[in-house]
Amino acid sequence: MADWEMIELHRNSGNWGKVVEEIVRIEKRIFPKHESLAKSFEEEVKKKNSGLLYSQIGGEVAGYVMYSWPSSLYASITKLAGSWEALLKAAIEKCKTRNIHRISLHVDPSRIAAMNLYKKLGFQVDSLVECYYSSDRNAYRMFMDFGAD
């Protein structure tokens, strides 16, 4: 997998438009319309306290993780698609460099593979959020604490 790489997207990158366009296509393809950020993706990733890492294979976006840090102690994984484990680990490391104490995310309880990955990396279920995705789809809020040892 010599042509696989992970890249942090910066607002002033020369390839910004191309990468955002590819991610929006992925959003439309894999997420239901009401969960997709396709229409607001560029605005979301331009926010001051947000970051985006993406993986690339052969020059094409293969996956991405979007995260934000609304406060100096807390971060949230807002989107994850593609090579989950590597991207999630990289986002966690990025958050740790900001001295974040807690990272949280939401996941559909029926997405067993996602739940297992999050648990494997140290996330714990905090609570069930009813109607999070839609009127008939709940989510688990999960979290990972660190730095408070």
Q: Is 9 left (phi over 0), alpha (psi -120 to 50) or beta?
A: beta
Question: Is residue 2 over pLDDT 50?
Answer: no
> Which CATH superfamily does the domain covering 4-145 fall into?
Gcn5-related N-acetyltransferase (GNAT) (3.40.630.30)
Domain assignments of the chain as residue spans, ordered by start: 4-145
State which H helix or E strand residue 35 sits in.
none
Residues 62-121 have pLDDT tens digits of 999 999 998 888 999 999 988 789 999 999 999 888 888 999 999 999 999 999 999 999
The strand ranges marked E within the chain are 4-8, 50-57, 60-68, 74-81, 102-107, 124-134, 137-145
Average pLDDT over residues 127-137: 92
Residues 25-47 have pLDDT tens digits of 998 888 888 788 878 888 888 88
Q: Tell me the two tokens of residue 142.
A: 């999960």
